[in-house]
Amino acid sequence: MFEYEFMRQAFIASTFIAITAGLVGVFVVSRNMSFLSHTLSEIGFAGAAFGILVGISPLAGMIIFTLVSSIAVGSLSGEASRREASISAISSLFIGLGILFLSLSAQSSSYATNILFGSIVGISAAEVKQLLILAVFVIIIFLIFYKPLAFDSFDHLGAQASGLKTRLLSIVFLITLALSVSIGAQIVGSLLVFVLLTLPAATAKYVVHSVPKMILVSVGLSLAGVWLGLYLAFVTNWPVTFFISTFEVLAYFAGLSYKNWKLTH
């Protein structure tokens, strides 16, 4: 398998994607913002389609759209009464925009398939470098803000009482989430990127309880999912997204079953 350059590039890119998604996902789950990762994935689809239309890379278009939208959409998280309807409206709008941008461009339908469901095995060396730079940037940001961000994510009221700049931390988190959506979409596509950003972290929450352990388990499950998915896709020629999603869902239900077993014993 590793005799093929595209598979080597796919494993390198997917490794950093999984690390980023597993790390950011812990804070997505702790902040109850799974809805936002799903919405940003659909906004990212429109951004990638816009990039194709205007002649820039789909990744660049996705980053622009998700960065601008993340803070605006994230502000709705405090309005629980309006959140569901607002998010549904925003998601519908950007899916429609994505379809419009693709129809206006001269590209074939294969581009839409790649954006929606990922195309990790066709990733170029230049795209791998871009992903690595973005992933390292996100990891560095989290290392810098780890302690205050963890405090704010798991005890928001305590963080406010202690004088932390929670508004700034929220913006930092939203920016890293937007970048993570753009990065993760390269392997599982814009429609399913929330799988890597939510399920591994949600599973980790069921089996461990400290933040460092949650991060380790979440990153480990993300890595296992993408590595196994790439291998099975290589030997079966089935879509890698199918295997990744299936693994993460099975792991999630295994974690949920473990939690229920612990509660009854």
CA atoms of 202 and 207, how far apart (whole Å): 9
Residues 6 or more apart in contact with residue 176 via CB below 8 angstroms: 24, 138, 141, 142
Count the Cβ atoms, other than its own, within 10 Å of residue 162.
Answer: 12
Q: What is the pLDDT of residue 166?
A: 87
Widest CA span of the chain, in angstroms? Answer: 61
Whether residue 212 is predicted with pLDDT greater than 60 in this model: the reply is: yes
More confident call, 114 vs 180 = 180
In terms of Cβ atoms closer than 10 Å to its own Cβ (0-12, 13-18, 19+), residue 262 is: exposed
Q: What is the pLDDT of residue 182?
A: 85
Q: Which of 33-42, 105-114, 172-181, 194-203 has the lowest mean pLDDT?
A: 105-114
Q: What angle do CA 148, 39, 170 make, to 5 degrees?
A: 15
Domains detected in the chain: 5-190 (1.10.3470.10)
Question: Which tokens belong to 215?
Answer: 């991060």
* DSSP per-residue string spanning 101-161: HHHHSS--HHHHHHHHH--GGG--HHHHHHHHHHHHHHHHHHHHHHHHHHHHHH-HHHHHH
Residue type present at position 222: S
Distances (CA, A) of 151 to 24, 25, 30, 38, 214: 15, 16, 11, 24, 14
CA atoms of 163 and 250, how far apart (whole Å): 41
More confident call, 123 vs 184 = 184
- When pLDDT is cut at 50, 70 and 90, the band that residue 77 belongs to is low
More confident call, 114 vs 167 = 167
pLDDT tens figures, 129-155: 888 998 999 999 999 999 999 999 999
Q: What is the pLDDT of residue 137?
A: 93
CA-based nearest residue to 155, from 31, 26, 24, 23: 31
Q: What is the pLDDT of residue 111?
A: 60
Greatest mean pLDDT range, 1-5, 82-86, 148-152: 148-152
pLDDT tens figures, 103-125: 888 665 566 666 666 666 667 78
Residues 6 or more apart in contact with residue 79 via CB below 8 angstroms: 86
Q: What's this model's pTM, rounded to 2 decimal places?
A: 0.87
Q: What is the mean pLDDT of residues 194-221?
A: 94
- When pLDDT is cut at 50, 70 and 90, the band that residue 76 belongs to is low
Q: What is the pLDDT of residue 15?
A: 92
Q: What is the pLDDT of residue 130?
A: 85
